[in-house]
Amino acid sequence: MAGKLVQVATNTVSSAVSSVTLTGIDSDDVYMIAINNVTGTTEPNAINIRFTVGGTADTSANYDWAHKVLRAGNSAFGNQSNTNQSAINGLDSTGTSTSETVNAIYYFFNFNNASEYSFMTYEASARSSAAELNARQGGGTLTVSQATDGVQFFMSNNNIEVGSQFTLYKVV
């Protein structure tokens, strides 16, 4: 993906929130979201994603996803996947301490194309509540042919903590 990044939207959480939505995908270009220092307000917590249509999250049970889990601790590597879900689930776990943060890069494809499925790939790294370094690499799709214009992030358990940063870029 050669080229440059043009910032489209950004959000640095200033008070704990249930979700963060970034919109502005309005072309057939590839888009990228970088998240930095994302932490949940309770443990355990996992980052979940939904795509937006007209700025509103699509909550239908039409998300499929799969990823490889890479761990640096005592746990084994693994594969995780699911189909027909209401979100792309469990992209990485985070806790409540500042050392338990998630950082990730997500790429988004076909979002502006109403005759194709919107899909994404991702690479995420985190330090879990067990002080284990881990990562996820995989992808997900919304199995509905419709134009989507953004992404909603939310935690599996409670809120996104202050200081979490989310930035949407167009790759040109």
pLDDT above 60 (res 1): no
Q: Tell me the per-residue pLDDT of 84-123, one tens digit each, with 9 for 90 and over.
A: 999 998 666 665 555 678 899 999 999 999 999 999 999 9
- Residues 6 or more apart in contact with residue 56 via CB below 8 angstroms: none
Q: Where along the chain do its domains lie? A: 5-171
pLDDT above 80 (res 129): no
Q: Please name the residue that has the structure tokens 């949940």.
A: 40
pTM of the model: 0.90
Distance CA 130, CA 132 (A): 5
Distance CA 114, CA 141 (A): 14
Class at the top of the CATH hierarchy for domain 5-171: mainly beta
